Structure 1
């Protein structure tokens, strides 16, 4: 669906050349939601804007639906862009136009017949839940409503790809959840491929199928969202995952422990099984759960628990070995008593 090959984007500045994207290659399958996460300056916005040639790559190839965009003439590119919708962080609505007129503008620019425009606008407003706002101006809308207008406008010409440039960064958490739910609905019902960039790992966890992590213009890690959350490899990826899943045990709970403190990671089906209760039946140990949580990523559980295991040393070690064999991911906290 989308394939990027050896993409490079270099910016010329007064201080010299700055590389925004460095030798990036990736594939996005048809109908999936693909997230690109990274801190400011990582190159993710440059990469996204290259996908529809808002930024012209310095080198490399970009294929969408098998068409190599950098080889197209201006006329061919304009036609190809009709199938690539884009949603912006700050909405980019025309303040002097009503909601309906903002959406209709995209249709007029594409040469849609006047007789079809009004019907299509009403259809889009219904899709994004703003049927009662068609004659309202952007200044009268909340941030979430403005973004819904932006989504309707991006969908106006029936695109096969939707690019989202920090689409929820300017929104509060509740509104963010509603916008992500809308994007997921659009993806499922219309089969539109979505590529979104964000610095918020919660967004990726909530909506994406696969993801890439960018740093210094490069993709440093890529894969299925659940796999990356469950087993991040790169230090930056671990930092992002820790912002969602990890937690530190308060110092007072570390003191005066009788046994060993362990951190246990439960992945997939094992998170729904009675591993801990089995331990207490099989071994002469006592257990005290000090902290824990379960997240559901792609509807699959991922649990993390910190617990104290106490008793005779041999029994503790046997119990820990048993838990490790069942979970395949256990860490003995070094400063445990």
Structure 2
């Protein structure tokens, strides 16, 4: 659906050139939810705006649904943009217009006749759960409701792609979950390809099929979200994962350890099996669970536990061998 080939964006300033995006190549498949993660200044928002040419790349190719957008003339590009919806952190609603009018604006700009506009707006407000707010003004809405209006507006012209630029950053955790659930619903029911820019790994964990991590305008790591969480390759990716899966033990506890400290990772169905319980029954060792949890990455379980094994050395070795045979990853710390 979206192919970026060596996309670069360079800004000319008085002090010299500033590289916003540095030769990024990505392929985003039709119907998937794709996350782009990075700290402030990583270039992720600039890259997103290159997809719909709000930022014109200095070089490279931007192909959306088989069309190279950089080859289009202005009028052709305006038409092509109608198939690419976009929502922002700041909502950008017109305060003097009602919810209905804010959503209808996108249809009016696209030349949709008045009777069809009304039908489409009501349909969209039903989809985003705001049918009862059609006559309200933005000042009468909560942050989550404002974002739902902006989502409805972005969907007005039946886009094939929805770009989300930090769409949940201004929202509280509960509202963020409801907006992510809505985006999930839109993706599943309408088949729209969604690209999400975020600095929150919790968002990626919840909704993204695949993701890329950016730093200094470059993609430093990319892959399926589950693989990124279970086996990050780059230090920056690990930093982001730790915001969701942090298993640092206090030094005072580490100083009191007398047995063998083991970190276990259970992937998929194994995360829900009683592997540790079985091991403790089979061998003459005690297991003290010091830290652990099961996270669900796009509804697939990933379990990580840190435990202390106490017992005779030979029994500990047998227990470790058993765990290594059953568990995806066993690390003696």
TM-score w.r.t. length of structure 2? 0.98
2:160 match: 160
Q: Does 1:23 align with 2:18?
A: no
Indicate the residue corresponding to 1:128 in structure 2: 128
Quote the residue 1:240 is aligned against.
240
Displacement after TM superposition at 1:124 (Å): 0.8
Which whole-Å CA distance do the structure 1 matches of 2:213 and 2:53 have between them? 21
Aligned to 1:139: 139
1:216-269 superposed Cα distances (whole Å, 9 cap, x missing partner): 101111111001100000000001111111221233332333311111111112
The answer to whether residue 97 in structure 2 is matched with residue 97 in structure 1 is yes
Is 12-21 or 52-61 further displaced after alignment? Answer: 12-21
Q: 1:55: Cα distance to partner?
A: 0.2
SS in 2 for 1:323: helix
Cα distance in 2 between the residues matched to 1:182 and 1:256: 47
Q: Structure 2: where are the runs of 5+ without partners?
A: none
Moved more, 192-201 or 283-292: 283-292
Aligned to 2:117: 117
1:171 maps to what in 2?
171
> After TM superposition, what 4+ stretches of structure 1 lie above 3 angstroms from structure 2?
none
Is the deviation greater in 267-276 or in 149-158?
Answer: 267-276
Q: How big is each residue's C-alpha offset from its partner over 1:97-119, in whole Å with a ceiling of 9 and x where there is no partner?
A: 11111111101100111121111
Q: Aligned equivalents of 1:293 and 1:155: distance in 2?
A: 37
Q: How does 1:312-327 map to 2 (within 5 A)?
A: 312-327=312-327
SS for the counterpart of 2:175 is: helix
How far apart, CA to CA, are the structure 1 residues paired with 2:97 and 2:305? 53
Write the distance in 1 (CA, Å) between the matches of 2:212 and 2:325.
30
- Aligned residue for 1:205? 205
Q: Distance in 2 between matches of 1:301 and 1:154?
A: 33
Q: Which residue of 2 aligns with 1:67?
A: 67
SS in 2 for 1:233: coil
* 3-state SS of paired residue (1:227): helix
Deviation (angstroms), 1:22: 0.6
Look up the SS of the partner of 1:132 in the other structure.
helix
Partner of 1:302: 302
CA distance in 2 between counterparts of 1:241 and 1:233 reads 11
Report the Cα distance in structure 2 between the residues aligned to 1:189 and 1:114, rounded to whole angstroms: 26
What is the TM-score when the length of structure 1 is the normalising length?
0.97
CA shift at 1:181, angstroms? 0.3
Residue of structure 1 in register with 2:217 after alignment? 217
Give the equivalent residue in structure 2 for 1:253: 253
In structure 1, C-alpha distance between the alignment counterparts of 2:18 and 2:120, rounded to whole Å: 43
Check if 1:328 corresponds to 2:328: yes
Deviations 1:108-161 (A, max 9, x none): 100111121111111111111111111111111110000000000000000000
Quote how far apart the aligned CAs of 1:329 are. 1.1
How far apart in 1 are the matches of 2:148 and 2:99? 10
Structure 1 counterpart SS, 2:270: helix
Give the whole-Å Cα distance in 2 for the aligned partners of 1:178 and 1:156: 20
User: Could you say which residue in structure 2 is the equivalent of 1:193?
Assistant: 193
Counterpart secondary structure, 2:293: strand
CA RMSD of aligned residues (A): 1.0
> How far apart, in 2, do the equivalents of 1:205 and 1:4 lie?
24
Matches of 1:328 and 1:141 in 2, distance apart?
A: 48
Superposed displacement of residue 44, structure 1: 0.3
Q: Secondary structure at the match of 1:96?
A: coil
Q: 2:183: which partner in 1?
A: 183
Please report how far the alpha carbon of residue 273 of structure 1 lies from its aligned counterpart in structure 2 after TM superposition: 2.0
Mapped partners of 1:324, 1:251: distance in 2: 27
Q: Confirm whether residue 76 of structure 1 aligns to residue 76 of structure 2.
A: yes
Distance in 1 between the 2:289 and 2:188 partners? 39
Q: 2:306 is paired with a residue of what secondary structure?
A: strand
Show CA shifts across 1:256-290 (max 9, x none).
33311111111112212221122223322111112
